[in-house]
């Protein structure tokens, strides 16, 4: 074999290794080139027949070939073994694993929806703290100095001037103290009262407050149309509102607001105690005394306010029979509201 032929064999052997598809093919090549009767050992044996002058070049080429072939063979064998390893079994036909998926709490959903509905009427969302001053929660809202609602049996007091707010109405005061008219806000938030828990009472509950005060005339008719729009958007078409005279210290005149019973649509049923109406909110025209407390000129501004319980709306809207379901955090109950 000439040196040139030797080099051709060398190249051909490497090509064969590169093209071998699996471990068996590679083993066959190992036997063919390196085995006891393999080509390379045979050529080594033939070295004695090579003319002495050519031997060093021949020997060098044979050594280089053997090294290159062994290395290529080792690399390909390792790669073939890795490819043959079983891949982690992944059965695409298996049913998926169920994961508990969080959903917004019904009260949070009502809050979201209220914000959207009133946003369309130009109301923005205001905020206020749960811990309030006596001034914001009672005095500025024109509550009589010894009104029973201030009693320690009704209100959680920290000290004579600080309490857990009993209503969201103090946010009206904060808003007007911080902003000149016009103001048009809603404020959903937590309230606290020393109530004994039962199916419709909880010491911790939520209200949403609304306040619109402007320097141009705002009337009871505006209040009614706003709440009528809210009633339809929140409870569905065909829901109307009615006002009944009432008393609140911070509004004059004051009204209680009923929505058409969503169950019987006004015909009368067990839910509405046959009246066709369901009490939803308190409201009225802001009392001039309140304007005085926040530094608004009662002769130059007009406005209305309203407030309603959010649990009550959630219970009516979703047919929840007991307020305690909303606070027991049982996911069998909460999970329904997806
Ligand atoms: N704060 C009242 C309550 O807790 C609800 C209320 C009534 C709010 C009339 C108002 C309003 O803004 O005008 O019972």
Q: Using the mean position of ligand 1's atoms as its centre, give its distance from the Cα of residue 274 in Å.
A: 26
Does the C-beta of 175 come closer than 6 Å to ligand 1?
no
Report the alpha-carbon distance of residue 333 to residue 251 in Å, rounded.
Answer: 38
> In angstroms, rounded to a whole number, what is the distance separating the alpha carbons of residues 217 and 300?
9
In angstroms, the CA 169 to CA 176 distance is 12
- Residue 60 in this model has a pLDDT that exceeds 80: yes
* DSSP 8-state symbol, 52: T
pLDDT, one tens digit per residue, over 91-109 is 888 888 888 778 899 999 9
Q: Is the pLDDT of residue 89 over 80?
A: no
Q: Per-residue pLDDT averaged across 130-153, rounded?
A: 93
Atom of ligand 1 nearest to the CA of 308: 5
For CA atoms 30, 33, 35, 41, the dihedral sign is: negative
Cβ–Cβ under 8 Å, residues 307 and 167: yes
Report which ligand 1 atom has the smallest distance to the Cα of 284: 13
* pLDDT of 125: 97
Higher pLDDT, 118 or 152: 118
Which of 43-52, 94-103, 164-173, 259-268 has the weakest average pLDDT? 94-103
Q: How confident is the model at residue 177 (pLDDT cuts 50, 70, 90)?
A: very high
Q: At which residue do the structure tokens 């509405």 appear?
A: 272
């Amino acid at each position: 074999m000439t040196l040139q032929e030797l080099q051709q064999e060398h190249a051909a052997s490497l090509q064969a290794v590169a093209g071998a598809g699996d471990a068996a093919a590679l083993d066959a090549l190992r036997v063919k080139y390196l085995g006891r009767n393999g080509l390379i050992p045979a050529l080594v044996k033939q070295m004695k027949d090579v003319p002495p002058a050519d031997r060093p070049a021949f020997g060098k080429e044979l050594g280089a070939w053997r090294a290159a072939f062994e290395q290529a063979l080792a690399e390909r064998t390792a790669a073939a073994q890795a490819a043959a390893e079983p891949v982690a079994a992944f059965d695409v036909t298996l049913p998926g694993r169920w994961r508990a998926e969080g959903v917004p709490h019904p009260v949070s959903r009502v809050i979201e929806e209220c914000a959207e509905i009133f946003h369309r009427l130009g109301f923005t969302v205001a905020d206020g703290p749960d811990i309030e001053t006596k001034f914001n929660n009672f005095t500025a809202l024109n509550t009589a100095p010894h009104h029973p609602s201030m009693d320690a049996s009704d209100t959680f007091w920290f000290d004579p001037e600080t309490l857990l707010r009993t209503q969201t109405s103090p946010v009206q005061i904060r808003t007007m103290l911080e902003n000149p008219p016009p103001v048009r806000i809603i404020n959903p938030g937590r309230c606290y009262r020393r109530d004994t828990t039962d199916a419709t009472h909880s010491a911790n509950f939520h209200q949403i407050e609304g306040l619109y005060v402007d320097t141009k005339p705002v009337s009871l008719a505006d209040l009614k149309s706003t709440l009528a729009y809210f009633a339809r958007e929140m409870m569905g078409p065909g829901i109307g509102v009615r006002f009944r005279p009432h008393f609140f210290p911070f509004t004059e005149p004051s009204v209680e607001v009923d929505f058409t019973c969503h169950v019987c649509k006004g015909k009368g049923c067990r839910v509405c105690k046959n009246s066709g109406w369901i009490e939803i909110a308190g409201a009225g025209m802001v009392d001039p005394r309140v304007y005085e407390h926040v530094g608004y000129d009662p002769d130059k501004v007009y406005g209305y306010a309203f407030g309603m319980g959010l649990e009550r709306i959630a219970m009516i809207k979703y047919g929840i029979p007991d307020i305690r379901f909303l606070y027991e955090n049982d996911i069998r109950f909460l999970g329904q509201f997806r």
